[in-house]
């Protein structure tokens, strides 16, 4: 089996030690192989030795033994038998067995040698005959305590099993492949494809790498003016790199480039708040704004309604003054209303009313399936924002539906069109005539996966990566400034942390967490705070508690609220009417709220990506921000390790002394009692 075992890259989490999952997979594979081998051996036995006498004897013995075991074994042993069987089949398990077991084996080995002498030549056959069944029984006996005679025999067979598998003695007719010893699965080092391993590097420090708009000659005068009107004089590093690259790939307008080459797909991995939205909005508008016919040529897909709304707003504000129309399909309006905004029929001819569509995957698929008038046959740009999240939600198969809709033919419209569209294939002289219209994918994320298997699902064409991953040292330091641990990280698996962010962790107990939040707002004056919990129940209870405590304007943000309530809440938070917004991860990705000074992880996030997106709601656009994570004693070690390994520039310990919370404790206790009543009432309702 091990000959055919393909060691796979198991992710950075493996980190030298084999993950539990991989180990159990390896065990399972070995067990399956062992079972197959047993079957094969019994078949061989039947075909090679048709005289059943021996087999029957053997079977009778085994049966007698099994009966004996069944009658003697106490119940818990019987149960253990089924549990023990799989591990027993692994030869190496015997390494962990107690010394008396080795002795048994030695005695058995002697016995075996004696037998060998007696039955010269028959030993090889004997090995292959007896190994599978009795090897297992032998181990069971060890655990269950069988008779003396049986033990000796099984010991022999244990040895024979080792001889068969450990050495190269090949039993007649076939070779036993591989060993079954419990070897640790080798860590496979990551080998990245060149495009992932050698990205175009983007500066992470926004402030010191601003690029004047005038330094980007590719930008049209209209867009320069638009940016300036929106208060933008400089481009952020990610925009200065990516905008020219997208514009260059669309030099031939909407058609395929010189030599018949399709433009390369573009992937961007840059920190939260680094301006990725404008990095695709600006070039897409510039390429499309000269359009003559209105057709959907750009589609941006985002994971949530709120994000779709946000991106739609940016598109709309920058497309103002052009003929381009932006339509959102995110379920904020009724299906019929969305349908009406997509196309109209005049004189029996369908006319598109949208150039740019911003959608959530679910609603998008609805429109494609229900033939609501969304035609993607002219799509030039497919923008996948929060790309890693969108890959994870690929089970909805939204991408394959989009691609199918892009290359759909038969509506008759494309027959009349000058430009034909066919699924990508080899470039030939024939395939280039008439001119082709390519589909280019643009991927954006702060935590873009580097897992080639996942990226492969996107069907990228000669992708080009822009990334701000860098090498540096990570530290954990205490509040007095002394460094308590330092681990240089040069791993490619590192993530992007915003430059202006300062990370803290606050050791605490479960019961003190609400008090800490109150302390942060009332004493430390850190508001507005965006506070994350791991569940909507916790978010709701904390919200109720803070409300009952008084003095603080708080709100909750989770799937408990309707989309319109959520929209209103975000707006009020942005306007400064809410000091504390308690949210689930619904607000952890992409949401751009100006002026969030501080993020608090009330519940420590389980995954590093979640952490990065949560803390990325502050320190945006080159500003500074604070991120606090409340950690229980049991969480500290693992969490800090996770953060350091992810390439955090440093997370500091912030201790809140118990005496600082004392003043609020009496009132807090009283509030807790009130909260219990409120929750009871809510449940009753
Ligand atoms: N060139 C610029 N000058 C000034 N502000 C900018 C510029 N580009 C973007 N911004 C602002 O920076 C903020 C963050 O931008 P954006 O939301 O695009 O970040 P992002 O990289 O998409 O973040 P996330 O990964 O969290 O989604 C926005 O408020 C945006 O208006």
Grouped pLDDT means (10 residues each) for the chain, 685 residues: 59 46 73 86 67 50 48 40 33 34 47 48 34 32 32 35 43 66 72 86 91 93 92 95 93 62 90 96 94 91 95 95 95 93 85 95 93 89 94 80 82 52 65 72 93 86 85 43 35 75 96 94 92 96 95 94 93 95 95 93 96 96 96 96 92 93 92 93 87
- Does any ligand 1 atom lie closer than 6 A to the CB of residue 274? yes
Give the distance (Å) from ligand 1 centre to CA of residue 243: 14
Token couple for 275: 């301006």
Q: What is the pLDDT of residue 188?
A: 75
Nearest CA to ligand 1 atom 23: 273
- Does any ligand 1 atom lie closer than 6 A to the CB of residue 277? yes
- Does any ligand 1 atom lie closer than 6 A to the CB of residue 646? no
Give the distance (Å) from ligand 1 centre to CA of residue 171: 69
Give the distance (Å) from ligand 1 centre to CA of residue 22: 40
- Does any ligand 1 atom lie closer than 6 A to the CB of residue 276? yes
Whole-angstrom Cα distance, residue 400 to residue 369?
A: 12
Give the distance (Å) from ligand 1 centre to CA of residue 67: 74
Give the distance (Å) from ligand 1 centre to CA of residue 533: 25
CB neighbour burial string for 144-167, b if at least 16 within 10 angstroms, e if fewer = bebeeebbbbbbbbbbbbbbbbee
For residue 348, CA distances in Å to 146, 336, 338, 374, 412 come to 87, 19, 20, 16, 13
- Looking from the CA of residue 622, the nearest atom of ligand 1 is 12
- Does any ligand 1 atom lie closer than 6 A to the CB of residue 618? no
Give the distance (Å) from ligand 1 centre to CA of residue 29: 48
Mutate to test the pocket of ligand 1, among 202, 240, 278, 593 (most ligand atoms within 8 A of CB): 278
Give the distance (Å) from ligand 1 centre to CA of residue 271: 10
Give the distance (Å) from ligand 1 centre to CA of residue 517: 28
Nearest CA to ligand 1 atom 29: 592
Range 221-224 contact pairs with CB under 8 angstroms and sequence separation of 24 or more: 222/289, 222/321, 222/322, 223/282, 223/285, 223/286, 223/318
Which helix or strand (DSSP H or E) is residue 464 part of? strand 464-467
- Does any ligand 1 atom lie closer than 6 A to the CB of residue 235? yes
Count CB neighbours of 629 within 10 A. Answer: 27
Nearest CA to ligand 1 atom 7: 275
Give the distance (Å) from ligand 1 centre to CA of residue 381: 21
Token couple for 433: 């005539």
- Does any ligand 1 atom lie closer than 6 A to the CB of residue 216? no
Whole-angstrom Cα distance, residue 381 to residue 280?
A: 10
Q: What is the pLDDT of residue 42?
A: 80
- Does any ligand 1 atom lie closer than 6 A to the CB of residue 65? no
Whole-angstrom Cα distance, residue 51 to residue 48?
A: 9
Task: Give the dihedral sign, CA 472/477/480/482.
Answer: negative
Give the distance (Å) from ligand 1 centre to CA of residue 500: 14
Whole-angstrom Cα distance, residue 247 to residue 260?
A: 17
DSSP summary character for residue 487: E
- Does any ligand 1 atom lie closer than 6 A to the CB of residue 275? yes
Give the distance (Å) from ligand 1 centre to CA of residue 554: 26
Mutate to test the pocket of ligand 1, among 237, 621, 624, 627 (most ligand atoms within 8 A of CB): 621
Q: What is the pLDDT of residue 6?
A: 63
Q: What is the pLDDT of residue 594?
A: 87
Whole-angstrom Cα distance, residue 202 to residue 275?
A: 12
User: Which residues pair with residue 557 across a beta bridge?
Assistant: 583
Give the distance (Å) from ligand 1 centre to CA of residue 218: 21
For residue 326, CA distances in Å to 255, 284, 306 come to 22, 12, 16
- Does any ligand 1 atom lie closer than 6 A to the CB of residue 141? no
- Does any ligand 1 atom lie closer than 6 A to the CB of residue 310? no
pTM assigned to the model:
0.72
Q: What is the pLDDT of residue 635?
A: 96
- Does any ligand 1 atom lie closer than 6 A to the CB of residue 278? yes
């Amino acid at each position: 089996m091990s000959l055919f075992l393909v060691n796979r890259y198991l992710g950075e989490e493996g980190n030298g030690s084999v993950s539990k999952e991989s180990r159990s997979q390896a065990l399972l594979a070995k067990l399956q192989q062992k079972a197959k081998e047993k079957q094969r051996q019994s078949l061989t036995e039947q075909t090679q030795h048709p005289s059943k006498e021996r087999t029957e004897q053997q079977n009778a013995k085994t049966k007698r033994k099994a009966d004996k075991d069944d009658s003697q074994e106490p119940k818990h042993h019987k149960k253990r038998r089924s549990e023990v069987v799989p591990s027993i089949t692994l030869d190496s398990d015997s390494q962990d067995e107690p010394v008396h077991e080795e002795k048994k084996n030695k005695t058995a080995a002697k016995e075996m040698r004696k037998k060998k002498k007696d039955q010269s030549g028959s030993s090889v056959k004997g090995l292959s005959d007896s190994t599978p069944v009795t090897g297992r029984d032998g181990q069971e006996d060890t655990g269950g305590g069988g008779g003396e005679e049986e033990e000796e025999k099984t010991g022999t067979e244990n040895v024979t099993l080792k001889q068969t598998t450990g050495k190269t003695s090949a039993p007649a007719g076939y070779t036993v492949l591989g060993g079954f010893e419990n070897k640790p699965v080798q860590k496979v080092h990551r080998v990245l494809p060149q495009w992932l391993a050698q990205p175009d590097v983007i500066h992470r420090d926004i402030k010191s790498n601003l690029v004047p708009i005038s330094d980007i000659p590719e930008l049209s005068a209209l867009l320069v003016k638009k940016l300036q009107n929106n208060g933008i004089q400089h481009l952020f590093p990610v925009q200065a790199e990516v905008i020219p690259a997208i514009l260059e790939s669309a030099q031939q307008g909407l058609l395929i480039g010189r030599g018949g080459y399709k433009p390369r797909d573009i992937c961007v991995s840059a920190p939260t708040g680094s301006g990725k939205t404008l990095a695709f909005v600006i070039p897409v508008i510039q390429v499309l704004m000269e359009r003559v016919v209105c057709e959907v040529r750009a589609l941006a897909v985002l994971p949530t309604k709120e994000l779709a709304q946000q991106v739609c707003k940016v598109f709309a504000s920058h497309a103002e003054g052009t003929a381009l129309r932006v339509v959102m399909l995110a379920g904020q309006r009724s299906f019929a209303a969305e349908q009406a905004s997509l196309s109209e029929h005049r004189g029996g001819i369908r006319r598109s009313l949208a150039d740019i569509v911003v959608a959530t995957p679910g609603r998008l698929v609805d429109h494609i399936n229900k033939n609501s008038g969304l035609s993607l046959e002219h799509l030039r740009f497919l923008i996948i924002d929060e790309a890693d999240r969108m890959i994870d939600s690929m089970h909805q198969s939204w991408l394959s539906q989009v691609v199918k809709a892009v290359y759909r033919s038969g509506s008759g419209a494309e027959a009349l069109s000058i430009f034909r569209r066919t699924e990508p294939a080899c470039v030939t002289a024939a395939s280039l005539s008439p001119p082709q219209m390519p589909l280019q994918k643009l991927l954006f994320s702060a935590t873009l996966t580097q897992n080639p298997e996942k990226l492969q699902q996107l069907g990228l064409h000669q992708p080009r990566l822009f990334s701000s991953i860098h090498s540096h040292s990570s530290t954990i330091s205490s509040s007095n400034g002394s460094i308590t641990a330092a681990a240089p990280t040069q791993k490619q698996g590192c993530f992007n942390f915003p430059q202006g962010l300062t990370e803290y962790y606050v050791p605490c107990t479960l019961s003190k967490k609400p008090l800490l939040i109150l302390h942060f707002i009332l004493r430390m004056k850190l508001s507005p705070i965006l506070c994350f919990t791991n569940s909507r129940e916790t978010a709701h209870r904390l919200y109720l508690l803070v409300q009952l405590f008084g003095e603080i304007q708080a709100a909750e943000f989770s799937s408990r609220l309707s989309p319109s309530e959520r929209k209103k809440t975000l707006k009020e938070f942005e306007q400064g009417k809410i000091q504390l917004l308690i949210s689930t991860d619904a607000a952890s990705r992409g949401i751009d709220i100006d002026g969030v000074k501080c993020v608090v992880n009330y519940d420590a996030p389980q995954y590093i990506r979640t952490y990065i997106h949560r803390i990325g709601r502050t320190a945006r656009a080159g500003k500074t921000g604070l991120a606090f994570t409340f950690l229980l004693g049991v969480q500290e070690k693992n969490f800090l390790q996770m953060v350091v390994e992810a390439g955090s520039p440093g997370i500091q310990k912030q201790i809140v002394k118990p005496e600082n919370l004392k003043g609020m404790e009496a009132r807090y206790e009283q509030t807790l009692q009130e909260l219990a009543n409120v929750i009871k009432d809510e449940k009753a309702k």
